Chains A and B, each alone.
Chain A
Amino acid sequence: MRVLFVEDNEVNRRVVKEMLRAGGIEMAEAPDGAAGLQMIADYDYDLILMDLRMPGMDGITAIRELRRRGDVKATLPVIVVTADAGSSIEADCLAAGADGVLLKPVSMTALFDAIGQILANRSGGDILVA
């Protein structure tokens, strides 16, 4: 399983990378929305983790751009990972096309649960337990 984390904060990229490594997941990194979209176009991922506030293209815009793609990558699962606890953030993210929202500081359990939930949902319950 390959995950791309679009996030401008280097420390947070490192933290999530270490967390995912504990679950045997490889993580690629992009520092902003535009770079993230470029990497999605160039490589294959199973899941996108997306920060919201980033210089250049922000997370919401990047999700909208991704969902506008004409190919199968437009349906990639996206989980927002944000420190923004505003009352309408979750609704805004879901409206933009995100599959889930995690609030920083993100716990390992919450991160993997969100991933597990999305994998289970996407497979229609027919997921392979390895």
Chain B
Amino acid sequence: MRSREIAMAVAAAAVLATAPAAHAYAPDAANVEAPTPFEARVQAAKSAMMADPQAALGQSLAALDAAKRESGPRRAEHIATAQWLQGEALLRLNRLEEARPVIRDGLAAVARGSPDTKLHGDLLMAQAGVLATEGQVQAALTDFHAAYRIFGKAGEARSQAIALMNIGTIYQDARDYAKVLQYYAQAADLYAGDPSLTVSARNNIGNALREQRKYAEAEAEFERARAVARELKSPLIESSVVANLAAAEVEHGKLDAAQRHVAEAERLANSDAAARESLPGVWGVAARLQLARGNARGAADLIERTFAGVDLETTSLIERDFHETAYKAYLALGQEHLALAHLKAFKRLDDQARDLAASTNAALMSARFDYANQASRIASLKATQLQKDVELARTRGVVTNVLLAGSVLVGVLLLGGFLSIRRSRNQVRDANGKLSVANASLEKAVQARTEFLATTSHEIRTPLNGILGMTQVILADPRLDAELKDKVALVHGSGETMRALVDDILDLSKIETGKMIITPAEMDLKKLCEDTARLWAEKADAKGVALTLDIHRAPTRILADAGRLRQILFNLMSNAIKFTHQGAVALAVRAEGDELVLAVSDSGIGIPKERQEDVFEPFRQVDGSITRNYEGTGLGLAICRNLARAMGGDIALESTLGKGSTFTVRIALRRPAESRAAAGGEDAPAAETFADARVLLVDANPLAQAVLRAVLTPQVRAVEAVAAPADAAQGRFDLILCDAAVLGEAPDARAAALRALCGRTGPAAVVVLTPGDDAEAALLAAAGAAQVVRKPIAAPALSAALRAGFAERLSAGADSPAQSMFA
């Protein structure tokens, strides 16, 4: 249970500071003559708020009724106004549980309908009042600050000043008098147009100064407060201020001046019926004066009047100092029984004050800590990330200085976080502002890194184009001898690795900045798996590792982002083969209910349990020595996980050190609308229709190859292209389209080469394209060609010839059609 008024040495003036300002809500001049029922209720609620919150509550409920019966454009605003008054009244009645939802509803409506208005600020202030009373100091401060900003936007300087004073009051609870001074002084500077606010501000500044033993300054502030109180013609307030002045003078040792001011305060208190309320306080100060003069008897007499009719066990914090005076006076007089009673009361109130200060301080401290903690945590996260980038740049020989500039920036941010912890002792007010500045700096740092990566990528790709392009041209030249070809292939391979690195880094950057877009489209999953397996078959073979593909439980047509799915499989296969030196690597894909499960298993080196989560972090391989033994960017698995998650799934790892690993990707299985129709063909292992055929192109001319591929790809299941018959030995196809030029120069040589090709490729139908004459065509047909096509030929005619060749093979009842090469 907390008591807000403890901070207010002059209770009446302080209440003025937090009470709703009746005049600020006065109806427009035009409406004065005939206020609406709503306006009348609002006015009544405001007038009653300070003196009789129960009556104010009744009026606010009546205002709410009236507002709900309205139908005009301001209905919502009027309802919120009534809710604000209801909340204020409930707050004053200490019915916090009821106040909270009413204020929240009003706030929600105003934030939607009329944000940044005075009413919005007033509702925030009410909410802050509830929070402060509950001891939620940090949340209260946030709302007070928000209200202050909104009042600023709405041009409400008076309300801004009240918000600042409320913040000052929180620091008063925390006995942080330097902050109290700062906020009250700011409030007084901001708005001098309302004497009741000025009195409250000056009086509280005086009390804060007195607590700091700055008596001369305190006395000057009380004098100013008194001058304004006199203008207000309020003897109650004036006598309270003068009593405070006298109390400062007593502590200051200016006893004669104190004597004069006590007499003046008493005269003022007696000049008006309402002002008599201040008399007990005036007598209390008079008692302290007498005690200071060594007159215990006089002090006891006065303090007895202060506490006349008061239950000593229920006094409030305002009276704490008077209990101290009473205890000392009665003790000096030997009236130990009374002295003890006041000592107990003093201790109770002192404990209460200390608890309040402690809890308020704790809340303030935790607010500071949270901020400092959050800022430094963000900074350290970013620092770690940039540190990794710097290391990567160094090891890869990439230009480092720009990234180093990045780490310097983070260093500055960390330093900023550290400094802010030290400085924040007295700077809670700036916490939010600093956090947003820090966030902006971090955003800039992230953006700078993204731009750096984009530029670096561009600058690396340009020379890579020269390296990879020219090595490709050299490798494609038939005049190149085998030994030289090997060496050039090495250069080319290294260039490809570098390109993969640049691609991976860019992908990761896109994922981090949310620019990675998944675009599902209908695709052939089995073909993707076959292509992936085929791509790695040679490498697996070279290492003596078996490669198996199990797709018999996989759907064929699915909805997915083929490019990204290919990337996942590519990375997983690349890893599996890289870390496996004997045994097998298996790619198994299957549908499991609504899930698509893609698993890549290997019998490789395995990953120790404690590092299994690490492998999904960027730039991590199992340890430094391994990083050096195995090439790669260390980004592949991080990208796989991000992609799997972006597809609404995830990736899991099971691994035993020395035995092998299985990476399992599970994503939601989405089938295209017509998948039922296509499902019939799914399990057919070999091509029975032209549309399901796998076609091999053999053509040395890359343009011709490309054009044929473009023409055939939409018509068949798969098109592979090679430049020479020797390269074709790897796979088994349903149909081979071969340019005669690759078979040799003379017709006889071509026929012989064709015979050899047919022998190697099994049951596939071979269609030969030739510019030659009928004699050559006959020769080729005799050598095994299913069709011989004379070129140039228009694409539709070529397709027809291929279909004819394929049908011929089927009808000829050739041996069992080609199976999947990995079956």
Tell me the A residues contacting B by CB distance below 8 Å. Answer: 1, 9, 11-12, 14-16, 18-19, 22-25, 53, 83-87, 103-109, 112-117, 119-121, 123, 125-130
Contact = CB atoms under 8 A, between A and B. Distances in A.
Contacts of B510: 87
Nearest to A51: B462
B795 A126 contact: yes
B492 to A, nearest CB: 10
Contacts, number: 138
Nearest to B737: A129
B512 to A, nearest CB: 12
A46 to B, nearest CB: 11
A108 B793 contact: no
Q: Which of B515, B706, B791 has the most CB of A within 10 A?
A: B706
A128 B793 CA distance: 6
Interface in B458-507: 458-459, 461-470, 472-473, 476-477, 495, 499, 502-503, 506
Contacts of A117: 706, 710
B465 A127 contact: no
Interface stretch (B27-35, B132-140, B697-705, B745-753): B697-705
B710 A86 contact: no
A84 B455 CA distance: 8
Interface in B691-730: 701-711, 721
Given A24-B703, A87-B515, A127-B795, A108 B711 contact: no
**Size class of B's contact patch?**
35 or more
Nearest to B708: A129
A96 B821 CA distance: 43
Contacts of A85: 454, 457-458, 461, 502-503, 506
Contacts of A113: 706, 709-710
Contact of A83 (B461, B470, B795, B796): B461
B462 A19 contact: no
25 contacts: A12-B462, A15-B469, A18-B469, A19-B473, A23-B703, A23-B706, A25-B703, A83-B457, A83-B458, A83-B462, A84-B454, A104-B462, A105-B461, A105-B495, A105-B499, A107-B468, A107-B472, A108-B469, A108-B476, A113-B710, A115-B703, A116-B703, A128-B792, A128-B793, A129-B794
A112 B506 contact: no
Given A83-B457, A83-B458, A129-B708, 20 more contacts: A9-B462, A11-B465, A11-B466, A12-B466, A18-B470, A23-B706, A83-B461, A85-B461, A85-B502, A85-B506, A87-B515, A104-B464, A105-B468, A109-B702, A113-B706, A116-B706, A119-B707, A126-B794, A127-B795, A129-B791
Contacts of B795: 120, 123, 125-129
B798 interface: yes
B274 interface: no
A19 B469 contact: yes
A112 B470 contact: no
A33 B506 CA distance: 28
Q: Which of B458, B469, B477 has the most CB of A within 10 A?
A: B469
A125 B715 CA distance: 11
A87 B792 contact: no
Nearest to A121: B710
Contacts of A120: 707, 710-711, 795
B710 A106 contact: no
Contacts of B89: none
A25 to B, nearest CB: 6
Nearest to B513: A87
A123 B534 CA distance: 32
Given A84-B458, A103-B461, A130 B469 contact: no
Contacts of B503: 85
A104 B791 contact: no
Contacts of A11: 463, 465-466
A130 B791 contact: yes
Contacts of A119: 707, 710
A126 B796 contact: yes
Q: Which of B473, B708, B709, B710 has the most CB of A within 10 A?
A: B710
Interface string B444-459: 0000000000100111
B476 A129 contact: no
A23 B464 CA distance: 22
Contacts of B515: 87
Contacts of A116: 703, 705-710
A83 B794 contact: no
B136 to A, nearest CB: 44
A15 B796 contact: no
Given A12-B462, A125-B795, A106 B706 contact: no
Contact of B465 (A104, A109, A114): A104
B769 interface: yes
B341 interface: no
Nearest to B792: A130
A22 B458 contact: no
Contacts of A9: 462, 465
Contacts of B705: 112, 116
A93 B466 CA distance: 23
Contacts of A106: 465, 469
4 closest A-B pairs by CB: A116-B706, A15-B469, A23-B703, A83-B461
B19 interface: no
Q: Which of A1, A85, A126 has the most CB of B within 10 A?
A: A85
A20 to B, nearest CB: 8
Contacts of B506: 85
A22 B476 contact: yes
B732 to A, nearest CB: 22
Contacts of B476: 22, 108
B472 A12 contact: no
B35 to A, nearest CB: 59
Contacts of B704: 23, 129-130
Contacts of A108: 469, 472-473, 476, 702
B473 A18 contact: yes
B461 A128 contact: no
Nearest to A107: B472
A117 B473 CA distance: 21
Contacts of B495: 105
B517 interface: yes
A126 B798 CA distance: 10
B98 to A, nearest CB: 52
A57 B793 CA distance: 41
Nearest to A18: B473
A90 B470 CA distance: 25
Contacts of A14: 466, 470
A55 B502 CA distance: 25
Contacts of B793: 128-129
Given A15-B469, A105-B499, A129 B454 contact: no
Contacts of A86: 454
Contacts of B462: 9, 12, 83, 104
A105 B706 contact: no
B805 to A, nearest CB: 15
Contacts of B710: 113, 116-117, 119-121
B472 A129 contact: no
A129 to B, nearest CB: 6
A84 B457 CA distance: 7
Contacts of B796: 125-126
Contacts of B792: 128-130
Nearest to A119: B707
Contacts of A114: 706
B702 A112 contact: yes
A110 B459 CA distance: 21
Contacts of B459: 83
B357 to A, nearest CB: 55
Contacts of A130: 704, 791-792
Interface string B771-805: 00000000000000000000111111010000000
A86 B705 CA distance: 30
